Amino acid sequence: MRQKFSTWLRGIPLRWRLTAWYVFLLALILAGFSAFIYFNMSRSLKQGLDSLLFSQGEQVLSSLDNENGLPRLDPNLPLLPGTYFGLYDTGGKVLDTNMPADLAIGFQVKGLTASRPATVEIKGVEWRVLLVPVREKGQQPYWVLVVRSVEETEEPLDRLLLFILIAIPMTLLVAAGGGIFLARRALQPIDRIAAKARQISATDLSRRLDLPHGNDEVGHLVATLDEMLDRLDRAFQRQRQFTADASHEFRTPLAVIRSQAEAALQRQHSPAEYRQALEIIRDQAEWMGNLVAKLLLLARSDDRMEQMEMEPLDLGELVEGVTAEFQGMAAEKGLRLVKKIKENVVVRGDQTRLTQLLANLVDNAIKYTPEGEVVISLERRGRQALLQVQDTGVGIPEEHLAHIFERFYRVDKARSRAEGGFGLGLAICDWIVRAHNGKIEVESAVGRGTTFKVWLPLNEGLH
């Protein structure tokens, strides 16, 4: 039942729900305020009536006189209209009064408390009464009863209640109309945002909301949605470019494999020619296998499925191992491969991935350095480790620096393809560094070389 009610409630337009809540809260406030006014006015009128009874009682007592040994009250007392009085003996017998006889007899003075106002009902009519003792020579031979109708207090309360019962519904009706108007005005920008958003499709994310907005909640929503669309647009563009580049990369080896297979099947060949064709097919298949492995690694990193085995790691030992591994490759090109480890540096990281990171950077440096040297340096900078790979190679033009960490991006496409590069190495380096909460930077000048800087947080307490 509750679920059905919640479903039904969610189906109501937001403007109506906002108005309903607004009217409901206003009704609670008005009801509470009206009840406060009503009960305070009732108490004030009751206190005023009691004060009037006391003052009228004093006036009656001051007019009491003895005539032939019997107490008498002045029948022409200047009392307020609606005030009645009665003189009773200790047995409750009426001695003198300005009340009708049946009313005077109806009051039972013996059941009343002296000097304390009380409410008495006689024949369906409520009266406010005050019993005052009359003492003579230390004795109490008489009672004086002062009476006024409760109706004089109920009448203004009834008028107030009638006013409240009319005013509150009218106020809520006006508030509901105003609430609907204000809710419609407040939600109008949301309607425009929804209309604009419906015009934006996955195939065309270049459009923006482009709605005027200020420094309010709606303005922040519009700005946030435009920023989200920018990110989605960039992500979709990278995805499309990635798909196109991957397709292009696979096209060439597949074409080579197909042509070699078709040539081998068209006619008889010598064993050496078959062997040559199979070696070409094997090399191309191996090249595609390496590409698929790198693409799978990047795809798993995008989905955060690639697990890192984090442990305290001495970067100096890692630099020593990678330097020794690439000494032969550097020597073949006549390059000097130099390491500069200034101090012991310990980070928390995945040894396999950090080794892959440094190996990719050193491999690139050797490939694009015709002569000179490649320097690997390691030092501390505050709470971070700074790992640098610097070469004296051809350098990277400035317009390419902002894109070199993008997938399949190559500065010299023909040369990279010929050397077996995929254009994915630096993208993988960037992912590895980000996965270790670090950052990677590049500085380069054409003809003077390139420097890659990797910043990694130190493993506090172990360095």
What values do phi and psi take at 144, rounded to 5?
A: -115, 125
Cβ count near 257 (within 10 Å): 18
Domains and CATH numbers, the chain: 1-198 (no CATH), 217-302 (1.10.287.130), 311-457 (3.30.565.10)
Q: Is the pLDDT at 461 greater than 60, yes or no?
A: no
Tens of pLDDT, residue by residue over 332-370, are: 999 999 999 888 889 998 888 899 899 989 998 998 899
Quote the pLDDT of residue 63. 78
Task: Name the residue among 341, 339, 366 with its Cα closest to residue 421.
Answer: 366
Tens of pLDDT, residue by residue over 295-325, are: 666 666 655 656 778 899 999 999 999 999 9
The residue among 68 and 360 whose pLDDT is bigger is: 360
DSSP state of 227: H
Q: Is the pLDDT at 418 greater than 60, yes or no?
A: no
**Structure-block tokens of residue 278:** 């199979």
Quote the pLDDT of residue 9. 57
Given phi > 0 = left and psi -120 to 50 = alpha, else beta, which region is 374? beta
Task: Name the residue among 350, 247, 347 with its Cα closest to residue 306.
Answer: 350
Instruction: Report DSSP letters for 299-322, one per residue.
Output: HHHHTT-SPP--EEEEHHHHHHHH
Q: What is the mean pLDDT of residues 396-424?
A: 68
Q: Is the pLDDT at 29 greater than 90, yes or no?
A: yes
Quote the pLDDT of residue 274. 80
What values do phi and psi take at 328, rounded to 5?
A: -65, -45
Q: Are 256 and 278 in contact (CB under 8 A)?
A: no
How many residues are listed for the chain in this entry?
Answer: 463
With cut-offs at 50, 70 and 90, classify the pLDDT of residue 462: very low
Q: What is the mean pLDDT of residues 267-289?
A: 80
Quote the pLDDT of residue 463. 42
3-state DSSP of 261-280? HHHHHHCCCCHHHHHHHHHH
pTM assigned to the model: 0.50
